[in-house]
Amino acid sequence: MKLICRHLSVTQANHFVKSVIASNSLLKNVEIEGEISNFKAYYSGHLYFSLKDEESKISCVMFSFQAEQLSFLPNEGMHVICRGSIDVYEKNGQYQLYVNAMEPAGVGELFVSLQKLKNQLDQLGYFDAERKKRLPSNIHTVGVVTSGKGAAVHDIISTIQRRNASINIIFFPAKVQGENAAEEIAEGIRTLDQRNDIDVIIVGRGGGSIEDLWAFNERKVADAIYHAEKPIVSAVGHETDITIADLVADMRAATPTAAAELVATDQNYQSHRILKIKNDLGYAFNRKIQNLRKQIQYDRRIIEINNPRKKIKAQNIQLHHLSHQLQWSIQKKVLSAQTQMQFIQKQLYLLNPNQVLERGYAIVFAPNRAVVETATQASQWNQLMIKFNDGEVKVLLEKESENNNASKKNI
């Protein structure tokens, strides 16, 4: 491309550089070896990092659909060979390597064999979760297989002693890298597994390169872990380092220190936990006793309520009360009747004819014993009976003559 104008815009300049690089066929398929730095793995799956050597570095990007094909997990400081194309990202004018494939530098064949061994062991069930053993709840003795010279053994011992000094540690020193390392690690696992006083075994070492950790990818170590009767805790390298030993072990710890923390429960925490359990049990026991006492009191009240003697006593009291009410009611009725009788007697006394006779009056009866109330009635009879208080008297009636009546009129 030829430049015609004297000056370019930023976009034109970046576009020009991009076209120059894109036209170079050599840059479309390159292999670059270097150390990973500024490594970032995003949730999208894309990987962003730089490759550097002693004098320079180049920005790199590997998209998720290509990163998914990797047989290992890249991490900071790893020495790798990247294949891809160099191009310009016009937006910020930065040229970078678009990575299509990646492998650890110098150990490509090892990774091929590692992947092959992983597939074999996976088919044999070495990685199955169902066969993995749980750690004992009470651990008294821990076996440790690691180097006697590295920091790992110091970290494990100091962490266990700090967290729970009552735990015993039986140490089997073994080479953890180099020639015969795998054999010594496997022998240490088998030796400690045969001891009856060991509850769990820690196998591990500190961090290092893939080559340094390779003994833990050996079939001999995998077999020793798989056939062990004691639970095995693998603690190889750093958190990002995953070996076959980690996959076969019953439990994986990110670091040797983390492995020690898994097997040695903090004694202070355990004491607090026991105290809490004791307090909870005491509270539950006291509450149970209180509930039982309340139940007993309730049952006693029910028994007292349903007690025959108490019922009889209550019925006797009620009967006495009813008897008293009945007596009072009878007395009231009798008194009322007596009062009414006295009133009637008084009325009868007042209406008694004999009482009238006692006051000087008399009663006139006709011969048929009918009371004569008027003179007209008396004139109908010739004889009448007069009753006095002290007896009766018969009287004869004389009728006046008409002459006497006439003379009376004249008078």
Region of residue 207 (phi > 0: left; psi between -120 and 50: alpha; otherwise: beta)? beta
Query: What three-state secondary structure class fits 241?
Result: coil
Q: What whole-number distance in Å separates Cα of residue 231 and Cα of residue 346?
A: 120
Spans of the chain below 50 pLDDT: 1, 406-411
Residue 124 lies in a domain: yes
Helix (H) or strand (E) holding 42: none
- Answer yes or no: do 121 and 204 share one domain: yes
Does 117 lie in the same domain as 232? yes
Q: Which residues pair with 34 in a beta bridge?
A: 80
How far from each other are the two terminal CA atoms of the chain, in whole angstroms? 191
124 shares a domain with 261: yes
- Among 208, 237, 265, identify where a domain stops: 265
| Measured distance CA(396)–CA(384) in Å, rounded | 7
**Residue 120, pLDDT score:** 93
Q: Is 255 exposed, middle or buried (0-12, 13-18, 19+ CB in 10 A)?
A: buried
Does residue 120 form part of some domain?
A: yes
User: Would 25 be classed as within a structural domain?
Assistant: yes
pLDDT of residue 238: 67
Non-local CB neighbours of 135 within 8 Å, separated by 6+ positions: 200, 231, 233, 250, 251, 262, 263
Owner of token pair 């009414």 = 340
Q: Are 178 and 203 in contact (CB under 8 A)?
A: no
pLDDT the model gives residue 27: 87
In a domain, 200, yes or no: yes
CB within 8 Å of 349: residues ≥ 6 apart: 355
**Residues 27 and 123 occupy one common structural domain:** no
Tell me: do 364 and 258 sit in the same domain: no
pLDDT at 408: 42
34 with 172, same domain: the answer is no
Q: Give me the pLDDT at residue 244, please.
A: 93
For residue 278, is it within any domain? Answer: no
Tokens 């170079």 correspond to what residue?
24
Domain enclosing residue 252, as ranges: 112-128+138-265
Rounded Cα distance between 339 and 345, Å, is 10
Whether residue 241 sits in one domain with residue 102 = no
Q: By the 8 A CB rule, do 206 and 151 touch? A: yes
In this prediction, residue 18 carries a pLDDT of 83
pLDDT, position 363: 86
> Pick from 250, 265, 280: which residue ends a domain?
265
Question: Does residue 44 share a domain with residue 165?
Answer: no
Decide if 300 is inside a domain. Answer: no
The domain that holds 45 is classified in CATH as 2.40.50.140
Query: Measuring CA to CA, which residue among 168, 183, 171 is closest to residue 147?
Result: 171
Closest of 256, 259, 250 to residue 231, by C-alpha:
250
Query: How far apart, in whole angstroms, are the C-alpha atoms of residue 285 and residue 278?
Result: 10
For residue 371, the 8-state DSSP code is B
- The domain boundary residue, chosen from 265, 297, 312: 265
Residue 203 lies in a domain: yes
Q: Any idea what DSSP says for residue 180?
A: T
Asked if the structure places residue 405 within a domain, the reply is yes
Structure tokens belonging to residue 317: 């009291």
57 lies in the same domain as 183: no
CATH of the domain at 193: 3.40.50.10550
pLDDT, position 348: 79
What SS3 state is found at 275? Answer: helix
| Residues 160, 247 share a domain | yes
What is the Cα–Cα distance from 222 to 124, expressed in whole angstroms? 12
Q: What is the pLDDT of residue 406?
A: 44
Tell me: do 70 and 159 sit in the same domain.
Answer: no
User: Is residue 374 located within the same domain as residue 237?
Assistant: no
* Domains held by the chain: number: 3
Asked if 184 contacts 213 with a C-beta cutoff of 8 angstroms, the reply is no
- Separation CA 176–CA 183 (nearest Å): 10
